[in-house]
Structure 1
């Protein structure tokens, strides 16, 4: 079974990431444009389609929200505790905690979910919801934790950043259209379907192009500590919460896989924007993404046993 998962799900993902890395190395792709295409059309289109075609009940939506809230609180508590024990500076504590909380649920998590569940609407809806929560977390806690007391306009900046994100709007509109059973005109829905179908390839090619710009360094202990917590401890927390909440079937499987994503590219974007431990952020993204080829294979295999 693990061999099948590796060949049918994981390796295709990393082949696309590798192609993106090679293309970036040879052609120096315009990452700004690629990111904007992903952020403002491909991902919102995938989220809208997932929610519009969703089979998620209001009770399941509440269970996923509760799972995610508890999941984030536990990781935050552990990240804070480790930061204090290791006597990190305030900036390093923020960067370390962000590396645990802000995972790559978008341009990595959505394609993994799509391939692992073969486009199952329920699984896609769960992952889309997790990604929307991640977006909210990134532009609230993620920004606030790094900025600290540096700026008087801190909260205003965080709110403005969140309001500019298209994913939450796509999520809400998709849910409304789904709940009210409203038809979407073909001239609008067809382009959204095209965007949704292109999401796997474009998102992973973009991710490959993004991570190749980070030079690999192997001399920072805190990077390995972050990666171990992100790839091993976080899914263990996810599994325990799934058991405690009594979740089963596809939603439980999707949440377990979602809890094992590597560190998100947004951690590096925030670190570079505010000049707060950008090298640490870059290393955690690169190393966790490489090692994830092993951990995500195991997680997908384990998820298959959550009936």
Structure 2
């Protein structure tokens, strides 16, 4: 059979159809789970009920973390390499607007009083502090903060932000009203995720270069305890019971459950795919969803028996995860 070349218009039409098929339009669901695929510059929308990917939406380059606006009207996607923020509808994943010239937004967070919007510049060795008036974001101070500022936690009074510095192995305390560094202290190898215990008593630090969580008495700038977890202790998520917080162990491929009162590891979730990272909790508090950075999948853990019950294929290097119908976060350092 002879094959004839397609006319240019037909070729263009087919190419456009192929491109459209690659990025499905967001579906009109109010229970979409949003997952950032850092290695593909996309976000995946997953229907929480059917647990099926219903859309793939392009983002900027290297979207790592995301956070809702204080009024929950938008979900902010931080595109670290594109130097911008993408605002999407938290219910549907549809793009609302873009904010340009936000340099290297790796991790982002709002202070509890909603006055400050903070962004760590992982590759620029800098912390950017912005004014936030409920809609507009404007720079207040660019603060040099070497080396590799990563995760953020706030005191409940919004006076202090804590920043982990991955390469220098420190935690920095930032005075938000004056936008100055109050102090730095050594905590260990490759500190990453930060978590405030109830009453702002301690800062928990996930030691990604080790196998434990450091308990920091931040008022006296000293480590009072270490909690054995698994190799690559990385990020935290409250289990919304007022007592426990989960920590993902990226190298060990486990998740540890920490009792916030006794500061002990009360159990590990095993049998996971490689590289558990960010986590999100369902509104009924039964299921913990987790991104597997090294496996192109997210997983769903049943907390009644602490077993992985399902995995869902997404894009390359899935990182941040969020869904509108979620359990509340019981600490002031956000999603």
Larger radius of gyration: 2
More helix by share: 1
Q: TM-score w.r.t. structure 1 length?
A: 0.23
More strand by share: 2
Q: TM-score w.r.t. structure 2 length?
A: 0.22
Between the two structures, name the one with larger relative contact order (CA 8 Å, sep ≥ 6): 1
